[in-house]
Amino acid sequence: MGVVVQKYGGSSVATAEHIKAVAARVGRARRSGLGLVVVVSAMGKTTDRLLRLAGEVSESPSPREIDQLLATGEEQSVALLAMALHAQGVDAVSLTGPQAGMKTSGRYGSGVISEIEPGRMQKLLAEGKVVIVAGFQGMNALGDVMTLGRGGSDTTAVALAAALGADRCEVFTDVDGVYTADPRIVPEARRIPVVSPAEMAEMSWRGARVMHPRAVELGALYGVEIHVRSSFHEEPGTTIIGGNELEELETRETLAGIVHDLDVSRVTLTGIRTGPGTMSRIFTPLSERGLSVDVIVESGPKEGTSDVAFTVSRGDYGEAKRLAGAVAEDLGGKAEGEEELGKVSVVGTGMLNRPGYASQMFSTLGEAGIPIRMVSTSEIQVTCVIRAEQVEEAVRLLHRDFRLEERDV
């Protein structure tokens, strides 16, 4: 009996009716002969609601207790889905992350999966049961619940698929798959039938919200075939897969897509003295506070000083500017910043071998009068930091000028 791992996001289980619909889909798959492990997120906006409640009872709640609280969201979902399956005559068992053998390490709120003990799940599958696992959570060495951070249910699903040697991991969400751009901004955007893990991970890091990049990278590491599909119909969606099946991606004439991110701010340290160890002095305090930095640009030294700019999420802007500002003062400079920014990226395999992509991107933005604040490149992406209010226009223009609506993807 083949095993398939299915994951349903919060929008797919947002209401009792949605949960019944998911149960009907799971029941059909089980009756077709598949062994099923189903990973479920918290219902709708439950996680946000729980975080608000925590803030109402404490100005500075303990990270451990936050994890204890947030884990209950997924635990509600798995129990309710098991009940819905029982009502349809399907034998199912709900498990928390720790009950499913999920071991974690790291910090509360941003744990990483260190080990999975699949024995209990394998036994339940052998008994013909559907196994429903709470995503986003595991147990650390102290025996405490530890959550995996936002997008953790995607990571849970792919990790379970790897541990169980599943045929594939199906990620059900409220979109039809991965598109050449956000269809809410570009109505002509096209669904991408097949995409490489490298491209999907880059698109996710650069703003595409379909899947968490940690999950994509984990799938690539362990060779897990991932299908991204809508939970509201039976269309095929997008397959994320590597290997020989994607050889054509190395020679194709088009990009994978255009992605954007509006959660961007910039901190600039101006006039600082530079030398060996300067970058470490700037970024170590940010790392110690758990602040993620994306694009980094250093200007060429002039008269013994230079400027260093970097981007962070808007929620981290104040703390990042404060920490970087203290370092800047020690180095004879000052910190400035800009909050209302966004990123737009073109993503495709082998972009370093195709310099025309970067020049076309810069030309499109220049002709539209869209100033570029910062640029970041890799072999599969070019990213421009621009003003937030111009991001949607940039996405539409780039999608048009690269003719993504006209090409096979």
Query: For the segment 195-204, what is each residue's pLDDT rounded down to a tens digit?
Result: 988 889 889 8
- Could you tell me where in the chain the CATH 3.30.2130.10 domains are found? 258-401
Q: Nearest 5°: CA angle at 44, between 39 and 46? A: 95
3-state SS class at 147 = strand
pLDDT tier, 241 (very low <50, low <70, confident <90, very high otherwise)? confident
Distance, in Å, from the CA atom of 54 to the CA atom of 48, rounded to the nearest integer, reads: 10
The CATH architecture one would assign to domain 258-401 is 2-Layer Sandwich (3.30)
The letter for the amino acid at 301 is P
Average pLDDT over residues 157-177: 93
- Alpha carbon distance 21, 192 (integer Å): 26
Least reliable range by pLDDT among 44-53, 115-124, 204-213, 350-359: 350-359
Classify the C-alpha dihedral 392-45-129-120 as positive or negative: positive
Reading the block at residue 15, the tokens are: 């209401």
- Confidence band, pLDDT 50/70/90 cuts, at residue 247: very low
The pTM for the full model equals 0.84
- Mean pLDDT, the chain, integer: 90
For residues 35 and 377, what is the distance between their CA atoms, to the nearest angstrom?
43
Q: Where in the chain is the domain with CATH 3.40.1160.10?
A: 3-174
Residue-wise pLDDT tens digits, 128-148: 999 999 999 999 999 999 999
Q: At what angle do helices 152-164 and 213-222 cross, to 10 degrees?
A: 10
Contact of 348 with 256, CB cutoff 8 Å? yes
Task: Report the percentage of the chain scoring pLDDT > 90.
Answer: 72
Residue of 191, 190, 178 whose CA lies nearest to 400 = 190
Q: At what angle do helices 356-367 and 391-401 cross, to 10 degrees?
A: 130
- At 357, is the pLDDT very low, low, confident or very high (cuts 50, 70, 90)? confident
pLDDT band at 246 (very low <50, low <70, confident <90, very high): very low
Please state which CATH number belongs to domain 3-174: 3.40.1160.10
Is the Cβ–Cβ distance between 310 and 298 less than 8 Å?
no
pLDDT above 50 for 250: no
- Tell me the residue type at 143: G
Least confident of 201-205, 246-250, 301-305, 323-327: 246-250
What does DSSP say about strands 92-95 and 130-134: parallel, antiparallel, or unpaired? parallel
